Structure 1
Amino acid sequence: MRRFKDILIKDLWIKAFSIIFAFFLWFSIVGGESAEEFFTIPLTIVKIPENMIIKNELVDFVNLRVRGQKAVLNSLNAKQITVELNLKDAKEGENVITLFPEEVKLPEGLSVVRISPSQVTVELSKLAEKALPVEPDFFGTAAKGYEIGRVTATPLKVEVMGLKEALKDQEKIKTARIDLFGKNRSFSVEADLKPPSGNVYIKGPKKVQVDVEILEKSGRREFRNIPVKGSGPSDGAVFHPDKVTLVIAGPEAKLTDMLPSMIEVVIQEPETPGAFDLEPEVTLPEGFQVIRISPEKIRVKVEKHS
C-alpha cells in the first residue's frame, strides 16, 4: 500500500512537471513569433534654433509600423515610443527633415519597419522684436459719485517677438480685465497680460502693475441770489446789484448737498467816499471752486459823512 502511494505521488510530480514544461515550450514558440503592429505617435519638435519660429503648419502625428516578438508587441503602448523632429541644423527658410526609423525611441528588441510621413517640411523665420504700449482693460463702474482718473502701467511698454508680418498689425497689448465695481479709492493691482494674436509672443514677464486713481466725480451747479456782504470801515455802503449768481464746481455728491448759506460773497469796502466797481471775493467750503460769477463786478457807492 505504501509503495502504491509512493508511485502515485511520484507520478503526480512527473505530470505536474510535464504540464509546466509544456506551457513554457508553448509560450516560447508562440511568444517568440515575429509580428508587426501599427502605432500613431505624437511628433515632438526639439531644438528649434534660437530666435527662430516655425512659420508653417506641421503634422501632429506620425504612423509607425513596428516589428518584434509578438509577446513584446502585445505589451507595448504608445507612451513607450518617442518620435522627435530635430531642428538643430535647420536654417531660415524651407527645410525638409527626414524621419529615420532607427532614430525612433522604443523598447529594446523592437524596430521600426516603416514611418509615415518619412519627411516633414519645416519653414523657419527669424523672430523680430517690438515694444508695445500696455493698455489696462477695465470692466464695471466705480462707486456712485466716483470716476476713474489717471491710470499708469508699470512697465509702460512690453517687448514682444514674432514674425515680422505679424508684428506689423500689433499696436498695443491689453491686460486681463480689471474690476472697477464699487471702487471709491485709488488702488494698485498686478494684472496678467493678454496673449497677443497670431504668431507673437511676450518676451519677458507676463504681468504688469497697474495703478488706478479713483476720483470723486466733478460736477457743476448754479446758485442764484447769493447776497453780497460788505467788509470794511465804510458804514452804509450801497451795492448794486446786491445779489450775484454763481456757478460752482466740486465733487458731484457734495454739490447736491451744498446749501446757499455755505457760500459767502464779500466786498472789501473802500475807505473813501465815491463810486467804485469792485470784484467780490467768494469763500467756499474746501474742495469747491468758482467757475463763473455774474456780474463779475459790483457797483459800490460810499457816501461822504457830514
Structure 2
Amino acid sequence: MMRNWQTMILALALAIFTWFLVTGREVVEAWVDMPIVMTNPPEGMIIEEGLVDKIQVRLRGPKGLVASLSAQNLTYPLDVSHLRIGEQVLDIVRDKMPLTSSYEVIEIKPNRLKLLVDRRISKKIALEAVWAGALNSDYKLLEVVAAPDLVEIRGPETKLRKISKAKVVLKEDFPEEVPRTWSEDVPIELPDEIEASPGQVRMEAFFGPKTRDIWVKLPLQVVAPGGVKATPVQDYVRLQIEGPIALFRNNEYRKDMAATLVFGPQMALGSFDLEYEVVLPEGCRLLKKNPETVKTTIKK
C-alpha cells in the first residue's frame, strides 16, 4: 500500500512538472504599457508638443514570462540630449527597451515621436499702460502710468522673441464724479506659458476736465487813488480764457471774473498806458488780453 502512495505522488509531481514545462514553452502575444522617462535633458529645454506619457508595445514570448511583465514596472528611456530648438522626430527603437531576447517585439504605438522643442529664457520688456472704462463726458484721461515700467518675463524662447512689450489695463468706470487720480494693482497681460516678475504692477491714472477757450467781454473796474480822477479811453476789455467746458454752460462763471486797472503808489498827472489785473474762476487760465494796456488820463 505504501508503494502505491509513493507511485501516485511521483506521478502527480511528474504531471505538474510536465504542465509547467508545456505552458512555459507556450508562446503568446500581449500588449504592454511602458511609461516614457526622459534622460539627459539639456538645461532650460522644454518640449511643448508631441511628448506622450507612455508607449504601447505588442510583443510575443513564453506565456509565463509575458504574464510576469506587468509586475516589472518597465520604462522606456528617451534620450533627449541631442534635441535642438524646433520640430524634430525621434524613433522608438527596440534595442532601448528593457526586454531580453526571449521576447519578440511585433509592434510599437507610437513608433516615433514628433516633438516641438523650445528653450526657457528670460528678458526684460517695457510695459504699455492703458486705461479702459466709462468716463464722464466732461472729463478726459490725462495720463496713465505703471510702476515699475519694466518687468522680467520668462518662457519659451520662440514666444519671447516676438514680445517687446506687454500691456497692463486699468479698468474702472467714472460716469459721474471723476477723481483727480486713481490707483490700483493690475496683472500683466501675457500669452500662456509666459510668466512675469513681478506678476502685477501699480497703475495710476490722472484725469482732468475737458477745456475750451472763449472770448469774454468784461467791464473795466477803476479804483483811482485818493485825490485824483482816472478816466480810461474804454470801459470794457476782452479776455481770451481757457476753462472747463462744464463751467461755460451758463453765465454764472462771469460772477467770479473781474478786470481792474492797476495804479502805482504815486500817480503823476497826465495820460498813461496802464495795466489791469484779471481775476478768473477756479480752473481757468488767461490766454490773451485785448488790449494789453488801457490808455488812461489822470486828473485832479
Query: Which TM bucket (shorter chain)?
Result: 0.5 to 0.7
Equivalent residue for 2:43? 50
Quick check: 1:239–1:300 contact (8 Å CA) kept in 2? yes
Equivalent residue for 1:274? 270
Deviations 1:150-182 (A, max 9, x none): 21212211223456665454231112x432322
Equivalent residue for 2:173? 181
2 CA distance for matches of 1:46 and 1:211? Answer: 49
Quick check: 2:51–2:115 contact (8 Å CA) kept in 1? no
Gaps of 5+ in 2: 1-22, 99-103
Quick check: 1:65–1:112 contact (8 Å CA) kept in 2? yes
2 CA distance for matches of 1:81 and 1:232? Answer: 109
TM-score (norm 1): 0.64
Per the alignment, in what secondary structure is the counterpart of residue 198 of structure 2?
A: coil
Alignment of 1:1-306 (within 5 A): 36-37=30-31, 49-54=42-47, 57-58=49-50, 64-65=56-57, 87=80, 89-90=81-82, 92=84, 97=90, 99=92, 114-120=107-113, 122=115, 124=117, 126-161=119-154, 166-175=159-168, 177-182=169-174, 184-185=178-179, 186-196=181-191, 201-213=194-206, 215-233=207-225, 235-257=228-250, 258-270=252-264, 271-303=267-299, 305=300
1 CA distance for matches of 2:57 and 2:241? Answer: 85
Shift of 1:266: 0.7
Deviations 1:238-270 (A, max 9, x none): 122221122222333234354322201011134
Quick check: 2:222–2:260 contact (8 Å CA) kept in 1? yes
2 CA distance for matches of 1:44 and 1:188? Answer: 49
Gaps of 5+ in 1: 1-28, 106-110
Per the alignment, in what secondary structure is the counterpart of residue 136 of structure 1?
A: strand
Question: Aligned pair in 2 of structure 1 residues 201, 49: CA closer, same or farther (>3 Å)?
Answer: farther
1 CA distance for matches of 2:36 and 2:201? Answer: 35
Quick check: 1:63–1:115 contact (8 Å CA) kept in 2? yes
Quick check: 1:134–1:158 contact (8 Å CA) kept in 2? yes
Per the alignment, in what secondary structure is the counterpart of residue 237 of structure 1?
A: strand
Question: Aligned pair in 2 of structure 1 residues 230, 46: CA closer, same or farther (>3 Å)?
Answer: farther
2 CA distance for matches of 1:42 and 1:286? Answer: 76
Per the alignment, in what secondary structure is the counterpart of residue 142 of structure 1?
A: coil
Letter in 1 for 2:190: P
Question: Aligned pair in 2 of structure 1 residues 142, 129: CA closer, same or farther (>3 Å)?
Answer: same
Shift of 1:228: 0.8
Equivalent residue for 1:22? none
Give identity over the alignment, percent: 22
Shift of 1:226: 0.3
Letter in 2 for 1:266: T
Equivalent residue for 2:7? none
Aligned pair count reads 256
Letter in 2 for 1:217: P
1 CA distance for matches of 2:114 and 2:231? Answer: 97
Per the alignment, in what secondary structure is the counterpart of residue 249 of structure 2?
A: helix
Quick check: 1:54–1:122 contact (8 Å CA) kept in 2? yes
2 CA distance for matches of 1:119 and 1:152? Answer: 51
Letter in 2 for 1:229: Q
Letter in 2 for 1:267: L
TM-score (norm 2): 0.65
Quick check: 1:62–1:116 contact (8 Å CA) kept in 2? no
1 CA distance for matches of 2:153 and 2:173? Answer: 31
2 CA distance for matches of 1:92 and 1:143? Answer: 55
Range with greater deviation from structure 2 (219-228 or 248-257): 248-257
Shift of 1:97: 4.8
Quick check: 1:222–1:245 contact (8 Å CA) kept in 2? no
Quick check: 1:237–1:269 contact (8 Å CA) kept in 2? no
Shift of 1:101: 7.5
